[in-house]
Amino acid sequence: MVPALIPYPRMDPVALHIWGPLVIRWYALAYVAGLLLGWWGITQLLRRKALWAAKPFGGKPPASEEQIGDLLVWMTFGVILGGRLGWDLIYGTVLCLVSPDAAFCRGLPMGFLTDPVKLIAAWEGGMSFHGGLAGVVIAMWLFCRRRKLSLLSVADLVSTVAPIGLFFGRIANFINGELWGRVTDVPWAMIFPRAGDLPRHPSQLYEAGSEGILLFLIMLFCLFGLKLHRRPGLLTAVFFFGYATFRFICEFFREPDAPFLGPVSMGMALSIPVWLGAGALAVVALRRKA
């Protein structure tokens, strides 16, 4: 095994110390940056009149800038509540039942019953993308139903900018020195302070590049180049398929949180329902009259 050739840039997970125990962490700033830049990106798309000139929009965007601002509040609650409760269910319950000796379990899932505060203890670590995705879907469904907006068209807008949030989230994982990769001898391997003395894949950067940058470029091409937004739901299907595919591939380089089903990690397994959701959305979008 060769030594890591790229030193891990040790950064304080705390971006700003306010007073005593009050701090602002990079992880929190990543959520804020992803949400605000996503909101800004959607408003820029809404202002491009050429995008909405053809059917089925007829010159009218699927939502107003004010409505998207209100949706941001709903989505913020959706991603935070869904992300935490999703972690409780997927990792704290299912994965801890399969691999109770995992370091992060610490008596879970029974600990949720003896100390219910653990259900919301995100400060101890633990947010699930798939839970956050479910929370955002529910928030958008409720919002669009209340405001009488097209759920699929609004979802296409959100899906187009969603990789921005994924990028910042993975960069925050890298700064925190968490979710590191498997042991390797590649020249760009790093030694993460909390992962022992062996060089590992910087898998957080792999995910930031694939789920974030590359997927964002794909979404922009599908929107501006292929005009897939004219089939409401199809852009969302592309996002689901792209995320699940990149996440599945990156799982080969990422150290699993704990053993799940033999060589299949929890991240790989969770890609399956996302792929199925992508397929269902694609069928619905393509069957609708243009």
List the one residue out of 270, 279, 37 whose CA is nearest residue 131: 270
The strand pairing partners of 201, in sequence order, are: none
DSSP structure class, residue 261: B
Spatial distance between the Cα atoms of 8 and 15, rounded to a whole number of angstroms:
18
List the one residue out of 139, 134, 130, 123 whose CA is nearest residue 91: 130
Cα–Cα distances (Å) from 252 to 188, 203, 246, 270, in that order, read 16, 9, 10, 14
List the one residue out of 138, 266, 253 whose CA is nearest residue 184: 253
Instruction: Extract the tokens encoding 174.
Output: 């890298």
Half-sphere exposure of 221 (CA within 13 A, CB side): 7
Q: What is the pLDDT of residue 12?
A: 84
Domain residue ranges of the chain, discontinuous segments joined by +: 14-287
Q: How many residues does the chain have?
A: 290
Query: What SS3 class is residue 42?
Result: helix
Cis ω before 109 (30° cut-off from 0): yes
**Side chain identity, residue 6:** I
Cα–Cα distances (Å) from 156 to 102, 147, 236, in that order, read 38, 17, 5
Contact 181, 255 (CB under 8 A): yes
Contact 169, 34 (CB under 8 A): yes
List the one residue out of 274, 223, 285 whose CA is nearest residue 247: 274
Contact 190, 6 (CB under 8 A): yes
Contact 80, 139 (CB under 8 A): no
The strand pairing partners of 190, in sequence order, are: 200
Spatial distance between the Cα atoms of 67 and 150, rounded to a whole number of angstroms:
12
Spatial distance between the Cα atoms of 79 and 122, rounded to a whole number of angstroms:
13
Please write the tens of the pLDDT for every residue from 65-106: 999 999 999 999 999 999 999 999 999 999 999 999 998 898
**Tens-binned pLDDT, residue by residue, of the chain (290 aa):** 455 578 888 788 888 888 877 888 888 899 999 999 999 999 999 999 999 999 999 999 999 999 999 999 999 999 999 999 999 999 999 999 999 999 889 889 999 999 898 888 876 668 899 999 999 999 999 999 999 999 999 999 999 999 999 999 999 999 999 999 999 999 999 999 989 999 999 999 999 999 999 999 999 999 999 999 999 999 999 999 999 999 999 999 999 999 999 999 999 999 999 999 999 999 999 998 76
Q: How far apart are the first and last CA of the chain?
A: 57
Alpha-carbon torsion angle 255, 99, 267, 163, nearest 10: -80
